[in-house]
A and B are shown apart, each in its own frame.
Chain A
Amino acid sequence: MAEFSTSVADKGEVSTIYLKGFLDAHTAPMLENTFSGLIDNGKYSIVVNFKELAYISSAGLGVFMAFIEKIRENSGDIKLSTMSDKVYNIFDLLGFPLLYEIFKTEDEAINKFKETKKLES
């Protein structure tokens, strides 16, 4: 079985989920739990760091669709960062760049949250 793991780090008001390994039908529920955990704790500003993600399948992509609406309703967002070309190509193929902001680095994604907060306040 392919290995997959997630970890979460809070940087200020933004939580970053780090993905590692293979995100497929089998491991998608793990990421789902991670998202649920953050939402249960009222954390809606989420950056996902794909640096160590080797593969993502449709079921894995589905997890992002399943939570985005609720998160945006709570004036939060999921921003994606640090994708390998291979992973980016899959996101691109399915049209995700139209719906999600994708950044080269995690810091850029976090800063975008901060800028948005500043504008709002």
Chain B
Amino acid sequence: MNDVDTVKVKRNLTALVEFSRVINSSLDLQFILNNILLTCMGKFFATKGLIGLNMNGRIIVRSSKGINEKILDSFPDITSDDDLDNNYSFTQFLNVNKIRAVEKISSSNDLVGIVCLGEKLNKSPYSDDDLEFLRTIINISASAIQNSIVLFELKRVNRVLDNRIHRLNSLFELSKEFGLISEKSTTTKLLVYSIIGQLLISKFAVVLSDGIDKHILESKFLESDLLDALTNVKIAEIESPVDKINLIKKYNRLYELKIELIVPMQLHGETKGLILLGKRVNHSDYTESDIEFIYSVGSLAIISLENRRLFNEALEKQKMEEELEIARDIQKNLLPHSIPQYKKFDIAAYNITSKQVGGDFYDIIPLNDSSFCIAIADVSGKGVPAALLTANLQAFLKIICKHGMSLSEATELINDLVTDNTMDGKFITFFWGVLDEDVLTFNYVNAGHNPPLLIRKNKIIKLDKGGIILGVMKTFTPYESPTISLEKDDMIIFFTDGVTEAMDKNGIEFSDEKLEELSLQSSALNASEIIEKIRSSVAEFAAGTVQSDDITLMVVKVK
């Protein structure tokens, strides 16, 4: 070996040792590939080179020098199993681009990649020595390349896992938060914040359906536009996520609003609402796992929203029941606790309130030793408002009876008072009169109440004289107040519409005719017997139905 050769070998060895040190001190794949190419190109005076790596079976160019992008794009689609020496498209690529040296990078059993080098600057072919050197370089770097690929892959997997963990943490946190019964607006906020924060979205909307109407809980789109675009969309029919392609096909109007994904919010397999999302701000598409995340968050939120709704409903119901209880108490206290008895009159009364508590009212107010006032009324509406108006009416009556006014004047005054004190179209049907034992007369006024029936000798006289119903407008024509003389065995039946309008299972009303017929048949009975007869007939008629209105009955029989 001559001196020149020795120097050459030494230089080669030094270069190899240096190369090995550099390559193996790094785990940065790009740095390693870059170094291999530069070292080889420098050594062989090659003007271009590329390294392709085996990525899941396909050879992909991962680093190149001196080759423009157009040529890189034309790199053939080859797999790690291909016989590269006899692959037509590959050899073609090499020839066209004057790539003269190709060596495989191999690990113990797999193809890691290939190194390709272009023509030497002096156009001389690669010698055996050159190729030997190239193989040495590749052998030295193979494990470094493989390590860095593994590291790269690990990092990628790690990031995917981190992302998964982050999503799971978010879900866990949200499930805790949604578990508390929070306000609807809070739940919605958390729902959208979690989604837009996780996936980088700036346009979104949440729409709920109660089966009939659509409610927008949150929207970054113009609400009117959104509702418009949702007009023909049946929320319950969207059972799985709708991606961009299907949006264009089926819900183009929503797509025109720049909505690119719809994810249903489902409870027990039923779609209760929709999450509508615009495109991601970083322009990447929604992946399956993104959609899965959105779906999970949506499911958590809908449970919370539904719980809130049920809770509110229960609360509302409880409030209503309490209110009804109050109304029932008020009403009970307004009705006379006992019926006063008179020498000439046999009196009985009956009242039963419906579940909702209507506004039936009756009273018997003694005026002096021989006369008393009898009143029956039905206040429109139900519950507490009706009970309060009834209480007002009773107070007016009690006061007015003490002033010795004529019935007509008194009714006028009551009507004016009630009109002043009621709003929103409430009114009272009212009948009252004064019965006098000494002279056996009945002086009455009927202000729009169901006419009481006076039964005399198997004939019915309807007590319907009077005037306008109470509370609708101030009195403008005086109330008529006829006085009728009573005879022995006369019977007056006072009632409210709860009696005649009681319905049977088929929705048919008890009717005035039936009550009149029954009254005629009962003329021989005493007051409480008559009431019992009517009561039981109505009860029998309405058997199996829920009583929807108060029922009040009063009977005065002349002894």
Q: Quick check: is A32 within 8 A (CB to CB) of the other chain?
A: yes
Residues of A within 8 A of B170 (CB): 25, 57-59
Seed contacts A29-B189, A59-B190, A62-B192; 18 additional CB < 8 Å A-B pairs? A24-B173, A25-B170, A28-B189, A28-B193, A57-B194, A57-B197, A59-B193, A61-B193, A63-B197, A66-B192, A66-B193, A69-B202, A93-B159, A94-B197, A94-B199, A96-B200, A98-B282, A99-B200
Given known A-B contacts A57-B169, A59-B170, A25 and B197 have beta carbons under 8 A apart: no
Return the chain B residue nearest A64 by Cβ. Answer: B197
Given known A-B contacts A28-B190, A94-B200, A62 and B195 have beta carbons under 8 A apart: yes
Return the chain A residue nearest B220 by Cβ. Answer: A69
Chain A contact surface mostly: helix
Residues of A within 8 A of B282 (CB): 95, 98-99
Number of residues of chain B lying within 8 A (CB) of chain A = 29
Q: Would you list 24 pairs from A and B whose C-beta atoms are within 8 A, ordered by A residue?
A: A25-B170, A25-B173, A25-B174, A25-B193, A26-B177, A28-B189, A29-B186, A57-B170, A57-B173, A57-B197, A58-B195, A59-B193, A61-B198, A62-B193, A62-B196, A62-B197, A64-B197, A65-B196, A65-B281, A69-B202, A69-B220, A94-B198, A95-B200, A99-B200
Residues of A within 8 A of B162 (CB): 89, 93
Query: Is B200 within 8 A of A58, CB to CB?
Result: no
Q: Quick check: is B458 within 8 A (CB to CB) of the other chain?
A: no
Q: Quick check: is B163 within 8 A (CB to CB) of the other chain?
A: yes
Chain B positions 199 through 211: 1 when the CB is less than 8 Å from some CB of chain A, otherwise 0: 1111000000000
CB distance from B525 to the nearest CB of A (A): 72
Chain B contact surface mostly: helix
CB distance from A105 to the nearest CB of B (A): 24
Residue of A59, A61, A94 with most chain B CB atoms under a 10 A cut-off: A59
CB distance from A76 to the nearest CB of B (A): 15
Kindly identify which residue among B174, B176, B197, B284 contacts A65, using a CB–CB cutoff of 8 Å: B197
> How distant is the Cα of A60 from the Cα of B192 in the complex, in angstroms?
11
> How distant is the Cα of A29 from the Cα of B199 in the complex, in angstroms?
19
Residues of B within 8 A of A99 (CB): 200, 281-282
CB distance from B286 to the nearest CB of A (A): 14
Residues of A within 8 A of B220 (CB): 69
Residue of A25, A60, A64, A98 with most chain B CB atoms under a 10 A cut-off: A25
Residues of A within 8 A of B190 (CB): 25, 28, 59
Chain B positions 261 through 300: 1 when the CB is less than 8 Å from some CB of chain A, otherwise 0: 0000000000000000000011010000000000000000
Residues of B within 8 A of A26 (CB): 177
Residues of A within 8 A of B8 (CB): none
Query: Is B194 within 8 A of A65, CB to CB?
Result: no
> How distant is the Cα of A29 from the Cα of B189 in the complex, in angstroms?
8
Q: Quick check: is B166 within 8 A (CB to CB) of the other chain?
A: yes
Residues of B within 8 A of A96 (CB): 200
Return the chain B residue nearest A96 by Cβ. Answer: B200
